[in-house]
Structures are given as C-alpha cells and as structure tokens.
Chains A and B, each alone.
Chain A
C-alpha cells in the first residue's frame, strides 16, 4: 500500500515552454502533498506544501508564479513549471501524506531537462 506515482518520469523541453508534472496517490487519500527539488549531489529541498482544496504554501525563495501547484483532489497534485529555463533543470519529487503526520510516501521523481 501507500504508493505514489509521478508522471512523466522524464521530460526534456525547450526553454520558455511550460511543463506539468503530476503526482498521484494510488491507494490512499492524500490530504497533504509536498513538492521537492533535488539538484545533482544535493539534498531534497522542499518547494511547497499543498493541501487539497486550498492554495499551496511555498517555501521562502520559491517563486509562486513560476511553480504553479494545484491540489484539486485527494489523490492528485500537479506542479507546473512555467516558462522553464535551463536553471530549472532538476529532479522533482513529490510526496503524499494522509491526515496522520507521521509518514510521507514519496513518488519516483521526475527528471526535467530544459534545453
């Protein structure tokens, strides 16, 4: 149980385009989802926290207008990287959590390469 999927797993796009990444909890309802970014050989950095039906809470330094997060249902959250630039190239990982605050379940990640 507690499986989280992400789609796509890989994406290559041209600079200036927008990319949408989906995060789904497959067998449980996720009241909260988190989005992380990980640069090569670095740790996971939390970008934002999203609760179903409400606006996401962004971490300091993360541009809200650039990284649009939508958590429209208890099983789906999306991250849209708008007007992507090469510096946005990274590994994006989502996690989902139920009402209990104990454990986050992580998706497999999405590798974004912006040319």
Chain B
C-alpha cells in the first residue's frame, strides 16, 4: 500500500530564513507521481509541483525547490528566503500509476508559520 510521511507537524521560522519540508513515501509501483500542495487558511489546495518517478532531476521555481531522491524515497521541498505569505499547511502526496486507480494518498501535512 502507498504511504506518505511528513514527519514535521509544525515548523516556525523567521522571515528570510530558508526552510525544508520533508516528505518520505512508500510504494510498490515503479511508476508513480509525487506532488506538493499548499493549503492557505482559505482552504483551497494550491498545486505546486508534480514529479514522476522516472524524473529525478531537482527542480527550482523561484524561491521554491524540490529534491527528489528515489534511493531514500524522499521528495523534500525547500523554500528559500521565506516570506510571511508562505505561511500555510503543505501537503505531500503520492499517486500510483498502475494500482489503486491512480488515487492520491496525502501526508498529514506540515504547518509552516513564517514570522515577520
């Protein structure tokens, strides 16, 4: 069965600090997709990134970067020079391509608080 673990329940940083949110996953499929979503207080999930299992290239998008390492089954998310607007709950999710009808399993989320 697929599983996603976000060990950090809450993280608090001061503005301009860098912060890394950890995500570890378990799956038996060789083809799968990993996602990060941001959920601000309004509740709407904001899609941040999708990565498929065959693409281990790290990605950078502005202040956001992602480190995908299949060897450790991790897909960590780093925010550089954090801002107050980054405060939200961040979810990592896994979707298996072959089994489970492509359903997504979400981690428990990490609440990030960025203080001014």
Query: Is there an interface contact between B43 and A46, defined as CB atoms closer than 8 Å?
Result: no
Could you tell me the dominant secondary structure of chain A's interface residues? strand
Q: Is B101 an interface residue (CB 8 A)?
A: yes
Contacts of B35 in A (CB 8 A): 103
Q: In the complex, which range does the number of interface residues on chain A fall in? A: 20 to 34
Q: Which of A19-27, A61-69, A104-112 contacts B (4 or more CB under 8 A)?
A: A104-112
By a CB distance below 8 angstroms, the chain A residues around B42 are: 108
Q: Establish whether residues B103 and A43, one from each chain, have CB atoms under 8 Å apart when the complex forms.
A: no
The complex places the Cα of A60 from the Cα of B91 at a distance, in Å, of: 22
Tell me how far the C-beta of B75 lies from the nearest C-beta in chain A, rounded to whole angstroms: 15
Closest-CB distance, A29 to chain B (whole angstroms): 16
A79 at the interface (CB under 8 A from B): no
Q: A43-B109, A101-B95, A102-B50 given as contacts; is B43 within 8 A of A57 (CB)? A: no
Q: Does B45 contact A (CB under 8 A)?
A: yes
B65 adjacent to chain A (CB < 8 Å) = no
Tell me the bound Cα distance from A101 to B47 in angstroms.
16
B22: chain A residues at CB < 8 Å are none
In the complex, residue of chain B having the shortest beta-carbon distance to the beta carbon of A38: B43
Given contacts A42-B108, A43-B108, contact A91 B43 (CB under 8 A): yes
Residues of chain A having any CB pair with chain B under 8 Å:
32, 34, 41-44, 46, 49, 57, 91, 93, 95, 97, 101-106, 108-109, 111
Report which B residues bind A (CB closer than 8 A): 33, 35, 37, 42-45, 47, 50, 52, 91, 95, 97, 101-109, 111
